[in-house]
Structure 1
Amino acid sequence: MIILGISAFYHDSAAAIIDGEKIIAAAQEERFSRVKHDAAFPINAVEYCLQEAGLTLNEVDNVVFFEKPFVKFERLLETYVAFAPRGFQSFRSALPLWVKEKLFQKKIIRETMAHLGTEYDWENRLKFSEHHLSHAASAFFPSPFEEAIVLTLDGVGEWVTTSMAIGRGNSLEIVKEIHFPHSLGLLYSAFTYYTGFRVNSGEYKVMGLAPYGEPKYKDLILQHIIDVKEDGSYRLDQRYFNYCTGLTMTNDKFAKLFGRPARVPEDELEQFHMDIAASVQAVTEEIVLKLAKSLSAETGIKNICLAGGVALNCVANGKLQRSGYFDNVWIQPAAGDAGGALGAAQALAHLYHDVPRVVQANDNMQGSYLGREYSDDEIRASLTAIGAKFTEHQSRDAMIEATATALADEKVVGWFQGRMEFGPRALGGRSILGDPRSPKMQKNLNLKIKYRESFRPFAPSILAERVNDYFELSGSSPYMLLVDAVKQDKRLSMSDTEQSLFGIEKLNVPRSEIPAVTHVDYSARIQTVHRETNPRYHQLISEFDKKTGCPLVVNTSFNVRGEPIVGSPEDAFNCFMGTEMDLLSIGQFTLNKSEQDASLAKDYKNEFSLD
């Protein structure tokens, strides 16, 4: 049973292909188009998935879209009618796009994919899932659980913003829902907008900014903006928001409540904005924990799976895991809309075609390494055509030895190996790496490599078998979706002066033996690296450990601010030449920056739109 899943037309378009319950391939369109969060129909991702599967479109049993466009349009119309005459301007700008494109997706899918299979029976083989069902399926079916609660939290699908489902075997049933306009995802996005970051891409910046502040406004938010019940259900007071009727997330009443207007993007961040970030983060965590507590008590089920954009809030995830409400927590690595492509395919397989499900001991995501891989012959040809100067090592071991030596010398390394990751996190396939012991590494990576805000933290990739030597984490975190604390014996004592600092002043105080990955609250967004899913990355970190006694490296995505993660050898070389990276390790080759033709340098600082 070959099924091709597609998500598109809002953000993070993607495609995924499965054979029964086995995931063959999955990728986001942005990795091919080079447009961050690309919402266009993912034709490049579709073509990649078919190529990886070795199939033509005519050999695919079903194509399935991740949501129902007519139901979504119904929500749009009903919302505008309910708020009329307010919102006419927004309605007038949205309607042409729906009439031209979003409403007639069956036609767009058929026409865009026509060159892939002229005889395809679209009338009978094209199916449509529901948005939250697709999310829930992406979380439960690849999970390592026979039975689980599935909690999905995002902005909005057709109508649903929060859902709870129960999964057992190859069955999955949504049993509770919260509907638009009440949305935890949209609440967080509203504060993302208010703090001057871009909605649907800047939410993780708010999460990263929160530890610099105090949740001074939490009670104000709970008293005026959102009413949260003991079971975690909630309602938003729409008088403070503009997303139903306008072109912005918040309004003047929202600004008046907090005493100042929304921050202009790229303006200086003040302590106020850090405290706002801390406050909405605290509210989010409270809601997630209350939902989890009530669901656990109500069902007695010991496992929980998460999906939807809010499930990328790894700080809340970490607190959920430590809460003890569930024995096990599993989060879909492509938790946002990209993962809906995979979930739609899996929902169709198991719920419509009754494909049996075999639970894997860890999970069925293959480490989320589901994207394109390049052979050494392909890499050699690309680098030669570009005019790059490279060393071809006689073995993988030699390449890894050279890379580990560079890392130990505090060099910044671009790492392009194996299959590309599916989801927003670089997990050691398309990563930029550094030495976590260096007190300069965090700031240098932000300002000289990523060209982004200095406050943003970096993640550690640590050998799975050594995680408890450095972090309080119990269990594993292969997808970098759990935050936990650095162990006390790895922390550095702080002077009275250092302890008295607040806000962004905290940034330059080393807090542990691994300062480059220790956030100002002694936390870290941890990735555990497993030999079974990424042996090459595991070997590199092991070699670095032999040289330094440190079993972890700094890991950030291989891109600059505003750029999608690199997808091809050409992308990797361009990013390498457009930043102050020292070494590029790609396949069996390494490239030293000092040896490259200076005329191939790129101006990456101004190449991409700000995110």
Structure 2
Amino acid sequence: MNVLGISAFYHDSAAALVHDGVIVNAAQEERFTRKKHDPGFPAQAIRWCLADAGLQPRDIDRIAFYDKPFLKFERLLETYLAFAPRGFRSFRTAMPVWLSEKLFQKDMLLKELRAIDPALGEAERLLFAEHHFSHAASAFYPSPFEQAAVLTMDGVGEWATTSAGLGHGSGLTITKEIHFPHSLGLLYSAFTYYTGFKVNSGEYKVMGLAPYGEPKYARTIFDNLIDLKADGSFRLNLDYFDYCTGLTMTNPRFDALFGAPPRRPEVWLTQREMDLAASIQAVTEEVVLRLARGLVAETGMRHLCLAGGVALNCVANGKVLRDGIVDDIWIQPAAGDAGGAIGAALAACHQHEKLPRVSTNGPDGMRGAYLGPAFAQAEVERRLTDAGARFSIASDDALIDSTARALSDGQAVGWFQGRMEFGPRALGARSILADPRAPAMQKTLNLKVKYRESFRPFAPAVLREDVADWFDLDKDSPYMLLVAPVAEPHRRGMSAAEEALFGIDKLNVPRSDIPAVTHVDYSARIQTVHAATNPRFHALIDRFKALTGCPILVNTSFNVRGEPIVGTPEDAFRCFMGTDLDLLAIGNCLLRKSDQDAALKQDYRDAFELD
């Protein structure tokens, strides 16, 4: 049975194809349209999924959408009635869109599907899954666990903002929920807005900013904004928020509580924003810990699966793992709305069609998240030639050796290999790589390559067999979703003057043997690299280790700020020519910046809308 899963119309639209419960492929629409977090119908992603699998539209048995529009409309109406007349502005803004489009989303979906091919637009094939069930299915079914507790947390689906459940074999049940407007995701997004970042894309910036501050406002948050119970259940004090009745996240009462209006975007960050980030991060970690502890105590499960946007908070995930309440944790790499396409398709297979769950061949059912488009060598060469690129062709061994030597010499490398990743993280297929031992590399990559805020940390990609020697972690972390401290033997002692530094002044102080991937609190967002799922990337790091003694590379996504991760060789070449990258490896093609036609260099700094 072939099931096409779709997420669309809110943010991070995506499509995924599942055959008899096995994930075949998946891709986000933004990688094709080049519009970051593209919410539109994923027509290009769907076409690619079918073509990649060699299927015709008539071969699709079911099409599963990741939420239920009528339930969302019900929430909109009930929220307006509960807060009337205060919510009229928000209601007036949303209602025309709902009445013209979203209320008739089934018809709109069928129309969009028919535009791809009439065979896709047969109404009897279309199924709808609840939003949080899609998240839960995306977390449990691809996991390596036969049974597990399942926790999903985000802003809001239809009504649910947090759900807890139990997976066993092909069965999955949601046992309890927290409903809108009480939402951990929206609480975090309120502080994202208040500290001057963009909601639904800037939350990870708040997480990265937090270690520069002190959680001075955590008590204020607990005393005024959230009533948190021992089992992790909570309620928000809606007097301080405006997302129910207005068009912003917070209101003047929130401003008065924290002593100032929201920071304007792109204005210089102060210690206050850093302390606010540290505070909401500390609160979030405590809520997630209590939710996990409560769920494990209730179910007796020793394995935990996570999904939903809050599950991308890798610091909180690391705290759960180190707490010892579970033996292991598995997080859906596309934990946000994009992953709902996979979850909806898997829910259709196992819940609607009652197909048995298929045991995973490998560490899990996501195949390393390498589920997107790939390009044959001949096609890479043709595309690069048409783009005006100058390149040499290397054997596999020569490519690995040349790239590893360039990295050891301090060069920044664009790395475009194999299938594209599904989800927000580059995992060694569409990556920018560098030497983690270089003290200035974090700042250099942020300002000269990524064109983004200098405070943002980079992740270490480390050979799985070496992770415990370098970090306080001896578990798989293939999706860059666990944070752990750098191991003590690799830390550098701080002088009294360095210890006394505050905020962004901490940035340029090397704190370990791998300063480019060591955050100011000695933490690192770890990706373990496995030979079974990405042999070429594993071989590159292994060669770098042979040259330097270090089994780690800086790994960040191949893009600039505001740009989706590169999807094609042409995207990669444009980004290469618009940044200070030194070397580009695409398939077996090697491109050196010094060899390129200077006329093709682009001003890439302002090419994309800032996220």
Using the size of structure 2 for normalisation, the TM-score is: 0.99
Q: Residue 464 of structure 2 corresponds to which residue in structure 1?
A: 464
Verify: 1:253 aligned to 2:253, yes or no. Answer: yes
Extract unaligned runs of 5+ from structure 1. none
In the alignment, residue 268 of structure 1 is paired with which amino acid? Answer: W
Structural mapping, 1:138-153, within 5 Å: 138-153=138-153
Trace 1:378-417 onto structure 2 (pairs within 5 A).
378-393=379-394, 395-417=395-417
Partner of 2:507, secondary structure, is helix
Q: Is the 8 A contact 1:56 1:117 kept in 2?
A: no
1:287 aligns to what?
287
Give the equivalent residue in structure 1 for 2:525: 525
Check conservation: 1:56, 1:116, Cα contact below 8 A.
Answer: no
- In structure 1, the partner of 2:420 is 420
Deviations 1:115-136 (A, max 9, x none): 4332446221111110000000
1:79 aligned partner:
79
What's the counterpart of residue 561 of structure 1? 561
- 1:544 is aligned with what amino acid? F
State the partner residue of 2:89: 89
1:58-207 mapped onto 2 (5 Å cutoff): 58-120=58-120, 122-207=122-207
Equivalent position of 2:226 in the other structure: 226
Match status 1:9 vs 2:9: yes
Give how far 1:297 is off: 1.4
Q: Distance in 2 between matches of 1:594 and 1:450?
A: 20
Task: Indicate the residue corresponding to 1:45 in structure 2.
Answer: 45
* Structure-1 separation of matches of 2:465 and 2:488: 19
Distance, in Å, in 2 between the alignment partners of 1:149 and 1:201 is 28
Instruction: Give the Cα separation in 2 of the matches to 1:296 and 1:114.
Output: 45
Aligned counterparts of 1:95 and 1:594: Cα–Cα separation in 2:
55
- Counterpart of 1:398, as a letter, is A
For residues 82 and 494 of structure 2, what CA distance do their matches in structure 1 show?
56
Q: How far has the Cα of 1:294 moved from its partner?
A: 1.3
Distance 1:359 1:58 in 2: 28
Residue equivalent to 1:356: 356
Shift in Å, 1:201: 0.2
Letter in 2 for 1:509: V
In the superposition, relative to structure 1, how do residues 268 and 298 fare at CA in structure 2: closer, same or farther (>3 Å)? same
| Residue in 2 that maps onto 1:369 | 370
* Conservation of the 8 A alpha-carbon contact between 1:68 and 1:158: yes
Distance 2:273 2:281 in 1: 12
Q: Distance in 2 between matches of 1:111 and 1:600?
A: 41
Code of the residue aligned with 1:219 in structure 2: it is R
| Pairwise CA distance, 1:207 | 0.2
Q: Using the alignment, how far apart are the partners of 1:232 and 1:554 within structure 2?
A: 35
Task: Name the SS for the 1:94 alignment partner.
Answer: helix
Structure 2 letter corresponding to 1:584: L
* Amino acid aligned to 1:28: Q
Query: Does the Cα contact within 8 Å between 2:32 and 2:45 map onto a contact in 1?
Result: yes
Q: State the secondary structure of the residue aligned to 2:200.
A: coil
Q: Which letter does structure 1 place at the counterpart of 2:160?
A: V
**Deviation for aligned residue 1:435:** 0.2
Structure 2 CA distance for aligned equivalents of residues 404 and 260 of structure 1: 49
Q: Which amino acid aligns with 1:387?
A: G
Per the TM alignment, residue 468 of structure 1 is displaced from its structure 2 partner at its CA by 0.8
Instruction: Give, as a single letter, the amino acid of the residue that structure 2 aligns with 1:175.
Output: T
3-state SS, counterpart of residue 406 of structure 1? helix
- Between 1:304-313 and 1:79-88, the stretch displaced more is 79-88
Partner letter of residue 211 of structure 1?
A: P
For residues 358 and 33 of structure 2, the distance between their equivalents in structure 1, rounded to whole angstroms, comes to 35
Q: 1:218·1:279 contact (CA, 8 Å) conserved in 2?
A: yes
**1:304 maps to what in 2?**
304
Q: Give the drift of 1:409.
A: 0.5
Q: Distance in 1 between matches of 2:456 and 2:17?
A: 34
1:579-590 correspondence runs (5 A): 579-590=579-590
**In the alignment, is the contact (CA less than 8 A) between 2:153 and 2:311 conserved in 1?**
yes
**Partners of 2:369 and 2:281 in 1: CA distance:** 27
CA deviation string 1:153-192 (max 9, x = no partner): 0000000000001000000000010000000000000000
Q: Name 1:496's counterpart in structure 2.
A: 496
SS at match of 1:508: coil
Cα offsets for 1:346-371 (capped at 9, x unmatched): 00100111111133252111000000
In 1, Cα distance between the equivalents of 2:137 and 2:259? 42
Partners of 1:377 and 1:588 in 2: how far apart? 10
Tell me, in whole angstroms, the C-alpha distance in 1 between the residues paired with 2:120 and 2:520. Answer: 55
2:250 maps to amino acid: T
Matched position secondary structure for 2:196: coil
Deviations 1:97-123 (A, max 9, x none): 222222222222222222433244622
Matched pairs, number: 610
For residue 280 of structure 1, give the secondary structure of its aligned residue in structure 2: helix
8 Å contact 1:143–1:359 — kept in the other structure?
no
TM-fit CA distance, 1:432: 0.2
Q: Which sits farther off after the overlay, 20-29 or 359-368?
A: 359-368
What CA distance in whole angstroms lies between the structure 1 residues aligned with 2:116 and 2:447?
A: 44
Q: Which residue of 1 aligns with 2:430?
A: 430
8 Å CA contact retained: 2:303, 2:326: yes
Map Cα deviations across residues 66-103 of structure 1 (whole Å, 9 max, x no partner). 00001101101111111111121221111122222222
Q: What amino acid sits opposite 1:504 in the alignment? A: I
Across the aligned residues of Structure 1 and Structure 2, the Cα RMSD in angstroms comes to 0.8
| Amino acid across the alignment from 1:369 | Y
SS at match of 1:364: coil
Offset of 1:439 from its aligned partner? 0.4
Question: What letter is aligned with 2:608?
Answer: F
The aligned counterpart of 2:510 is 510
Asked if 1 retains the 8 angstrom alpha-carbon contact of 2:217 and 2:279, the reply is yes
Please tell me whether the aligned partners of residues 145 and 359 of structure 1 are also in contact (alpha carbons under 8 angstroms).
no
* SS of equivalent to 1:339: helix
When normalised by structure 1's length, the TM-score is 0.99
Structure 2 counterpart of 1:114, which letter? R
Contact 1:458 1:554 in 2 (8 A): yes
Asked if the contact 2:304–2:329 (Cα under 8 Å) also holds between the matched residues in 1, the reply is: yes
SS of equivalent to 1:103: helix
Query: Take 1:474 and 1:383, find their aligned partners in 2: how far apart are those partners?
Result: 41
1:527-564 CA distances to partner (integer Å, 9 max, x unpaired)? 00000000000000011111111101000000000000
SS for the counterpart of 1:422 is coil
Partners in 2 of 1:203 and 1:452 — Cα distance?
A: 15
Q: Which structure 2 segments of 5+ residues have no match? A: none
Distance 1:519 1:379 in 2: 36
Q: Is the 8 A contact 2:114 2:121 kept in 1?
A: no
Q: Secondary structure at the match of 2:118?
A: coil
Compute the displacement of 1:269 (Å).
0.6
Q: Which amino acid aligns with 1:363?
A: D
Name the SS of the counterpart of 1:311 in structure 2: helix
- Counterpart-to-counterpart distance in 2, 1:179 and 1:568: 41
Task: Give the partner amino acid of 2:85.
Answer: P
**Matched position secondary structure for 2:407:** helix
Q: How far does residue 245 in structure 1 lie from its aligned partner after superposition?
A: 1.0
Q: Deviations over 1:453-494 (max 9, x none)?
A: 000000000000000110001211000000000011000111
Alpha-carbon separation, structure 2, partners of 1:167 and 1:45: 29
| 3-state SS in 2 of match to 1:604 | coil
